[in-house]
Amino acid sequence: MGEIGLNTEENIRNAAHKIFHQKGFDGTSVQDIATEAGTTKSMVNYYFRTKEKLFSEIFHDEFRNLFSSIGGFLRADLPLKQKIEKIVELDIDRLIGMPDLPIFILTEVHHNPEIVFNTMENLPVEIVLNVLDNQIKDEAAKGIIRFIKARDLMLNIQALTIFPFLGKPMLMKIFGMDETAFMEMLQQRKKEVPEIIWNSIKKI
């Protein structure tokens, strides 16, 4: 149902965000969104023309979200060890606030690549990776760490932080955790993941 005080367009946008995240593009009907927004299909089409255009707007915002916070930190003037600690803490906190963002992105990339890759703008990720690569070479030359590709380092960090959110329902079932236990585990991981990563590259 639409929030009081918001206009119809905003209600539809919020409803679409919620339902698309829950059911995915293919599982969502325009009627679902209209009902959730407390209005009609016609209104959805009036404001957004097609289901696909509406989806693209939502997806575009979410996709930018995915790459938002990290960029700044990777450029900052900090030793690698502290960067890793900050990235993990920031990422886990951010994902706690939007826990089904990763699965939303992944499913749509897999099921509707045409829509998704049209929506994606060019990401300036190479530059950030280069900055990180240089810092790694620098600290490796000083004997602080072994050499590792920035690509592999980021992949390992993201794997250890994001994977628990992706597998959440399965993990809870398999390991017999409730919501509280899951949250405790996440808080623990803010400390443990940076340790794992650092142990894998430190030399001293």
Partner DNA sequence: GTCTATAATTTGATAGAC
Partner DNA sequence: GTCTATCAAATTATAGAC
C-alpha 116/C-alpha 60 separation (Å) is: 8
- Indicate which single residue of 3, 46, 64, 79 sits in contact with DNA (rule: CB under 7 A): 46
Burial class (CB in 10 A: 0-12, 13-18, 19+), 66: middle
Tokens of 74: 């990777």
- Cβ 73 to a second copy shortest distance, Å: 17
| 203 contact choice in DNA, a second copy, none (CB below 5 to 8 Å, kind-dependent) | none
Q: Which amino acid is at 4?
A: I
Q: Which does 57 bind (CB under 5 to 8 A by kind): DNA, a second copy, none?
A: none
50 binds DNA (CB under 7 A): yes
Report in angstroms how near the CB of residue 35 gets to DNA at its nearest.
10
Q: Which residues 94-113 are close enough to bind a second copy by CB under 8 A? A: 100, 103, 105-107, 109-113
Residue 176 CA to residue 185 CA, distance in Å, equals 13
CA distances from 180 to 38, 168, 184, 186 (A): 33, 12, 6, 10
Residue 79 contacts residue 189 (beta carbons within 8 Å): no
Shortest Cβ 26–a second copy spacing (Å): 4
Q: Does 118 participate in binding DNA (rule CB under 7 A)? A: no
Q: Report the C-alpha gap between 95 and 99 in whole angstroms.
A: 5
Q: Which of 10, 52, 57, 100 binds DNA (CB under 7 A)?
A: 52
Residue 115 interacts, among a second copy, DNA, none and using kind-specific CB cut-offs from 5 to 8 Å, with none
Instruction: Name residues whose C-beta falls within 8 Å of residue 56's C-beta, 6 or more positions apart in sequence.
Output: 115, 118, 119
Go through the chain and tell me how many residues it has.
Answer: 204
Mapped onto helix, strand or coil, the DSSP state of residue 202 is strand
Chosen residue from 14, 40, 69, 107 binding DNA by CB under 7 A: 40
Which residue among 15, 16, 19, 30 contacts DNA (CB under 7 A)?
30
Binding site for a second copy (CB under 8 A): 22-24, 26-27, 100, 103, 105-107, 109-113, 117, 120, 123, 125-126, 129, 151-152, 155-156, 158-160, 162-164, 166-167, 169-171, 173-176, 185, 188, 192, 195-197, 199-200
Binding site for DNA (CB under 7 A): 7-9, 28-32, 39-43, 45-46, 49-52
